């Protein structure tokens, strides 16, 4: 009987240790997640024909954002090419707005409107 009691006591202690370890792990702060903003540039009709003189500067601005880590990815929507979408990471709305206002397409009048929206990423963060 002593052997059984000893084993039960050890099992209880082990279970308590697991519970305490799990409780400590769950009370630890969660790792910081990234905050994303989606920028959609709504293009004028005939964008493919009109963008030529401004394309190099537009792409250079996007590349700078990618290089500094604030733009995760960007590109145009297809069929039809009526908008461009940018994914910004860990910046505020003022940063994205300043990006738009300096963008070659916007300055040239090829982007009559744009939207900036927070994006809640649930997979791949």
Backbone angles phi, psi at 110, to 5 degrees: -90, -5
The β-bridge partners of 38 are 87, 117
Percent of the chain with pLDDT over 70: 74
> pLDDT band at 113, cuts 50/70/90?
very high
Question: Which comes out higher in pLDDT, residue 49 or 13?
Answer: 49
Task: Return the half-sphere exposure (C-beta side, CA atoms, 13 A cut-off) of residue 81.
Answer: 9
Average pLDDT on 70-94 reads 97
pLDDT at 17 over 80: no
pLDDT at 92 over 90: yes
Fold held by 36-119: Alpha-Beta Plaits (3.30.70)
pLDDT at 106 over 70: yes
């Amino acid at each position: 009987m002593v052997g059984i009691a000893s084993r039960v006591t050890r099992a209880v202690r082990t279970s308590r240790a697991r519970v305490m370890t799990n409780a400590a792990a769950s009370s630890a702060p969660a790792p910081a997640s990234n905050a994303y903003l989606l920028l959609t540039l709504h293009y004028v009709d005939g964008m493919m024909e009109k963008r030529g003189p401004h394309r190099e500067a537009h792409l250079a601005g996007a590349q700078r954002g990618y290089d500094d880590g604030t733009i995760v990815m960007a590109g145009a929507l297809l069929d039809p090419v009526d908008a461009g979408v940018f994914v910004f990471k860990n910046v505020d709305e003022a940063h994205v707005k300043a990006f738009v206002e300096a963008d070659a397409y916007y300055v040239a009048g090829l982007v009559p409107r744009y939207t900036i929206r927070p994006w809640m990423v649930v997979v791949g963060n």
